């Protein structure tokens, strides 16, 4: 396909698709010459990669690449999104509770419109937060404001940093990715079909974003825990600000982007009569295999080609009328303790940019619906959360040594309903304890997990093996509560000026969708009457 570049009409561009073996695809000069040849373009032409994906459907694994070849002329340069913005107007202020992806992308979007975001974050900055992660990993001590879910950058900071999403209709994904690149992420994320950043790099991106917010006149306050909303007491309900650290913070509007683990925010809503609802979520376990096994199955050969990344899988099925699915797979990653309070066991997964650990772990969860949490109906809108919290507590009590050791079972033993006598090697640093997970998980969850694992064994050779281990509990895949908002104004249904946002409000699931929601909410505030016009 040949076209003229709209921004620089003198350029002639040919778009081509090529498929190469992994070694050739990782050699830039070889790759460019294959692309130029396919485009019938001279050696002087400029090659720009647009998309890259791995196709492992047949025995010969291929890297598929789409590229633009500039036969003459050069690609137009795209100006940075956040460059040369004037400082924000200090009289136009929006409080953003939470510095996760929803909160930070909302803050950046507000700054693009000259509005001052005041970010209030209960946790510590990325560097200081690391000490608390070490305390959980090594000593089982969970800091209630600083852990894998709370702190600068939110739950996404010390994660895998996977950036793929199905939320294509929710906003401009390219803008989210470009902002990440502007703040230090590799430009590869603009090209890869399954982009990821990795924990070792993500914290630097988060730090650079905070720096940008400060440079443009925004505020970021760490160790600042919001404990109350300030609501007007007469007439229509309207939020005026919040109380944090015994101080009143006032603003034109308030964004609540507190994530799915801020249970105190849900309690605060109930206490202050801010309408919330129980909502379906998902619950299960993390399943960990040796990475070499997953590589050999997915790449159809005993050993992974050195030019290929650690392989992943994505599995989904129906079991007794419910969806069961793998989720947030971390190839070459580790399982981490993601509890936010003492007395509970919650696991999640993360990886470094190289994805080079010996293990492949994936959340494996069952859809939880209203009929499941009926026993907790007396909790009203917090019923689904009470169901979730009970399972997490049972996991802690089952090990009963007061640490973050997690209950675990070999996959084959779980299916056979027998406790494991021994457990395989695992990446989970606090350690595993052999427990029959049927005694912890609700029976309807266990039965569906066992059925799903058996179904998947017939789709993926080697999946159901004694070398794989199930670790409980994967319970924070999504929020068990929704903070409902108007579809058009994105404002809370009962409190003017209050904007529920991101995963904790029930409007996102993952880094990119949370970021998109943050941008959408910020734009909704700009369009509202709460902000005086410049």
Ligand X SMILES: Cc1cc2nc3c(=O)[nH]c(=O)nc-3n(C[C@H](O)[C@H](O)[C@H](O)COP(=O)(O)OP(=O)(O)OC[C@H]3O[C@@H](n4cnc5c(N)ncnc54)[C@H](O)[C@@H]3O)c2cc1C
Judged by CB under 6 A, which of 117, 161, 284, 332 binds ligand X? Answer: 161
In the list 162, 322, 410, 492, the residue contacting ligand X (rule: CB under 6 A) is 162
Find out whether 110 and 88 touch, Cβ atoms under 8 Å.
Answer: yes
Query: In whole angstroms, what is the distance from residue 452 CA to residue 285 CA?
Result: 12
- Contact segment (CB under 6 A) with ligand X among 149-157, 275-283, 373-381, 445-453 equals 149-157
**For 68, what's the count of Cα atoms within 13 Å in the CB-facing half-sphere?**
16
**Least separation in angstroms between CB 76 and ligand X:** 31
DSSP-assigned states of every residue in 384-423: HHHHHHHHHHHHHHHH-SSSS-EEEEEHHHHHHT---SS-
Q: Which of 47, 336, 339, 385 binds ligand X (CB under 6 A)?
A: 336
For ligand X, the closer of residues 45 and 351 by Cβ is 351
- Among 32, 68, 109, 121, the residue binding ligand X under the rule CB under 6 A is 121
**133, 189, 213, 350: which one binds ligand X (CB under 6 A):** 350
Residues 82-111 as x/- pattern, contact with ligand X by CB under 6 A: ---------------xxxxxxx--------
Interface residue with ligand X, options 32, 96, 129, 150 (CB under 6 A): 150
Q: Which of 122, 289, 405, 485 binds ligand X (CB under 6 A)?
A: 122
Cα distances (angstroms) measured from residue 44 to each of 36, 47, 336: 9, 10, 49
Are the beta carbons of 278 and 373 closer than 8 angstroms?
yes
**Which region among 68-76, 160-168, 317-325, 374-382 touches ligand X (by CB under 6 A)?**
160-168
User: Which residue among 116, 159, 326, 357 contacts ligand X (CB under 6 A)?
Assistant: 159
**269 lies in the binding site for ligand X (CB under 6 A):** no
Q: Which of 190, 225, 419, 447 binds ligand X (CB under 6 A)?
A: 225
User: Binders of ligand X among 299-328, rule CB under 6 A?
Assistant: 328
Per-residue tokens: 137: 């990993």
- Residue 511 CB, nearest distance to ligand X (Å)? 4
Min CB(180)–ligand X separation in Å: 12
The kind and range of the H/E element at 137 are helix 126-139
CB of 66 to ligand X, least distance (A): 24
Looking at residue 86, what DSSP letter applies?
P
Chosen residue from 45, 116, 167, 258 binding ligand X by CB under 6 A: 258
From the CB of residue 287, how many other CB atoms can be counted at a distance below 10 Å? Answer: 25
Kindly tell me which residue out of 34, 67, 209, 226 binds ligand X, with binding defined by CB under 6 A: 226
d(CA 366, CA 446): 9
In angstroms, how far is CA 175 from the centroid of its own chain? 17
Choose, by CB under 6 A, the member of 149, 437, 470, 521 that binds ligand X.
149
Q: Report yes or no: 241 and 249 within 8 Å, Cβ to Cβ.
A: yes
* Residue 364 engages ligand X in binding (rule: CB under 6 A): no
348 lines the binding site for ligand X (CB under 6 A): yes
Q: Is the dihedral of CA 141, 145, 150, 153 positive or negative?
A: negative
Regarding 151 and contact with ligand X (CB under 6 A), the answer is yes
Candidates 259, 331, 332, 337: give the one binding ligand X (CB under 6 A).
259
Cα–Cα distance for residue pair 437/453, rounded to 1 Å:
14
Tell me which residue has tokens 């015994």. 246
Choice between 161 and 381, CB closer to ligand X: 161
CB atoms within 10 A of CB 138: 11
C-alpha to C-alpha distance for 222 and 201, rounded to whole angstroms:
21
* Residue placing its CB nearer to ligand X in the complex, 381 or 500: 500
Question: Per CB under 6 A, does 160 bind ligand X?
Answer: yes
Instruction: Determine if 502 is a binding residue for ligand X (CB under 6 A).
Output: yes
Which of 501, 523, 500, 525 has the alpha carbon at shortest distance from 514?
501
| Phi, psi (degrees; rounded to nearest 5) at 244 | -140, 135
Among 148, 203, 359, 396, binds ligand X (CB under 6 A): 148
User: Closer CB to ligand X, residue 122 or residue 355?
Assistant: 122
What residues from 189 to 208 belong to the interface with ligand X (CB under 6 A)? none
CB 332 within 8 A of CB 351: yes
**Distance from C-alpha of 31 to C-alpha of 250, rounded to nearest angstrom:** 56
514 binds ligand X (CB under 6 A): yes
| Contact between 241 and ligand X per CB under 6 A | no
Radius of gyration of the chain (CA): 24
Count the residues of the shown chain that bind ligand X, applying the rule CB under 6 A.
44
How far, in Å, CA of 298 to CA of 293, rounded? 9
> Out of 503, 516, 524, 525, which residue is the one contacting ligand X (CB under 6 A)?
503
- Greatest Cα pair distance, the chain, in angstroms, is 73
Query: What separation in angstroms does the CA of 321 have from each of 7, 81, 193, 370?
Result: 52, 46, 31, 14
Applying CB under 6 A, does 262 fall inside the site for ligand X?
Answer: yes
- DSSP state letter for 38: H
Closer CB to ligand X, 22 or 154, in the complex: 154
Cβ nearer to ligand X, comparing 66 with 194: 194
For residue 365, state whether it binds ligand X (rule: CB under 6 A).
no
30 — phi, psi (to 5°)? Answer: -65, -45
SS3 assignment, position 496: strand
Shortest spacing between CB 239 and ligand X, in angstroms: 14
Residue ranges that bind ligand X, judged by CB under 6 A: 97-103, 120-123, 148-151, 154-156, 159-162, 225-226, 257-259, 262, 264-265, 328, 336, 338, 348-350, 502-504, 508-511, 514
């Amino acid at each position: 396909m040949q076209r003229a570049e709209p921004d620089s009409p003198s350029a002639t561009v040919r778009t081509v698709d090529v498929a190469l073996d992994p070694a050739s695809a990782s050699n830039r000069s070889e790759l460019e010459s294959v692309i130029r040849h396919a485009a019938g373009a001279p050696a002087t032409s400029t090659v720009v990669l647009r998309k890259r994906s791995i196709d492992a459907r047949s025995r010969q694994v291929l890297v598929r690449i789409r590229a633009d070849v500039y036969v003459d002329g050069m690609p137009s340069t795209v100006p940075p999104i956040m460059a040369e913005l004037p400082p924000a107007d200090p009289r136009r202020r929006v409080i953003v509770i939470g510095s996760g992806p929803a909160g930070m992308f909302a803050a950046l979007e507000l700054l693009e419109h000259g509005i001052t975001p005041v970010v209030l974050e209960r946790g510590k900055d990325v560097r200081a937060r690391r000490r608390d992660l070490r305390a959980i990993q090594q000593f089982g001590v969970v800091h209630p404001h600083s852990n894998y879910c709370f702190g600068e950058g939110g739950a996404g900071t010390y994660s895998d940093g996977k950036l793929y999403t199905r939320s294509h209709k929710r906003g401009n994904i390219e803008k989210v990715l470009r902002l990440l690149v502007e703040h230090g992420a590799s430009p590869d994320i603009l090209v890869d079909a399954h982009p990821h950043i990795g924990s070792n790099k993500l914290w630097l991106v988060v730090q650079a974003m905070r720096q940008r917010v400060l440079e443009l006149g925004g505020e970021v306050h760490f160790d600042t825990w919001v404990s109350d909303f300030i609501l007007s007491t007469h007439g229509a309900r309207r939020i005026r600000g919040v109380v944090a650290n015994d101080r009143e913070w006032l603003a034109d509007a308030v964004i609540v982007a507190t994530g799915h683990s801020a249970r105190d925010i849900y309690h605060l809503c109930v206490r202050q009569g801010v309408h919330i609802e129980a909502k379906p979520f998902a619950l299960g376990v993390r399943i960990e295999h040796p990475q070499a096994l997953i590589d050999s199955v997915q790449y159809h050969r005993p050993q992974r080609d050195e030019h290929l990344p650690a392989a992943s899988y994505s599995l989904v099925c129906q079991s007794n009328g419910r969806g069961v699915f793998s989720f947030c797979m971390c190839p070459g990653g580790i399982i981490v303790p993601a509890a936010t309070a003492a007395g509970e066991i919650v696991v999640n997964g993360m990886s470094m940019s190289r994805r080079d650990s010996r293990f492949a772990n994936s959340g494996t969860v069952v859809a939880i619906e209203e009929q499941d949490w009926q026993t907790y109906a007396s909790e009203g809108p917090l019923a689904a959360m009470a169901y979730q919290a009970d399972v997490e507590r049972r996991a802690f009590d089952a090990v009963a040594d007061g640490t973050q050791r997690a209950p675990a079972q070999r996959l084959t033993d779980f299916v056979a309903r027998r406790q494991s006598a021994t457990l395989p090697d695992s990446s989970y640093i606090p350690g595993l304890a052999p427990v029959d997970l049927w005694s912890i998980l609700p029976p309807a969850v266990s039965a569906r997990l066992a059925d799903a694992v058996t179904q998947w064994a017939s789709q993926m050779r080697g999946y159901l093996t004694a070398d794989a281990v199930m670790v409980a509990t994967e319970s924070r895949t999504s929020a068990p509560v929704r903070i409902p908002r108007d579809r058009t104004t994105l404002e809370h249904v009962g409190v003017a000026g209050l904007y529920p946002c991101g995963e904790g409000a029930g409007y996102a699931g993952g880094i990119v969708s949370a970021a998109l929601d943050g941008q959408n909410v910020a734009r909704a505030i700009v369009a509202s009457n709460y902000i005086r016009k410049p």
